Amino acid sequence: MFAAADVQYHEGGAARAAAVLAASAALWPAVSEHVADVADVAPYVPGEFWQRELPCLRAVLSGVVGLSLLVIDGYVDLDPAGRPGLGARAHEEFGVPVIGVAKKRFTTATHAVPVLRGSPGATRPLYVTAAGLPLPDAAGLVREMAGRYRLPDALRRADALARGRA
């Protein structure tokens, strides 16, 4: 089972996490979707985002059996030395390979592999990091994930579910 997950934060300290599960690494078609509301999340602290998001991922992925890959909206590690980010913590927590797909460049993440998706003339890359599988393989998987837009369909769907727009 392969999953793409995202979290949306609400005023008042609550969050909604969403996960889209698929039977292939292309992450489409979805075989199930999960949403979990988390009443109280930690405040945002720069460089410690995982403390806020990991409990939400735990909530939405509880009960998922046979998870073999997790794709998150964000970074696995925050610099080439391996300073752990959300994805590294998720890799430890769930014991599966994790691919981080970030929409914006994080200054210290100079090791992230830029991946262009979408239209043939695309110029805005996604930034890919990984734990539990080689970074070139992770970048290749992201490049090949289903969807004709910059962001793979499963991550787009997880974002929409987390925002309550699905």
pLDDT band for position 12 (50/70/90)? Answer: confident
pLDDT > 90? residue 11: no
Relative to beta strand 2-9, strand 69-73 is parallel
Q: For the chain, which residues make up each domain, given as ranges?
A: 2-162
Tally of CA atoms within 13 A in the half-sphere of 109 that contains its CB? 23
Can you give the pLDDT at residue 79? 95
Can you give the pLDDT at residue 65? 94
For the purposes of burial, counting CB atoms within 10 Å of the CB of 76, is it exposed (0-12), middle (13-18) or buried (19 or more)? buried
| Residues 145-158: b if buried by 16+ CB within 10 A, e if exposed | bebeebbbbbbbbb
With contact defined as beta carbons under 8 Å apart, do 17 and 60 qualify? yes
Can you give the pLDDT at residue 41? 92
Can you give the pLDDT at residue 49? 82
Relative to beta strand 69-73, strand 98-102 is parallel
pLDDT digits (tens, 9 = 90+) for 80-115: 999 999 999 999 999 999 999 999 999 999 999 999
User: Is CATH 2.40.110.10 the right assignment for the domain spanning 2-162?
Assistant: no
Q: To which residue do tokens 């110029």 refer?
A: 123
pLDDT band for position 43 (50/70/90)? Answer: confident
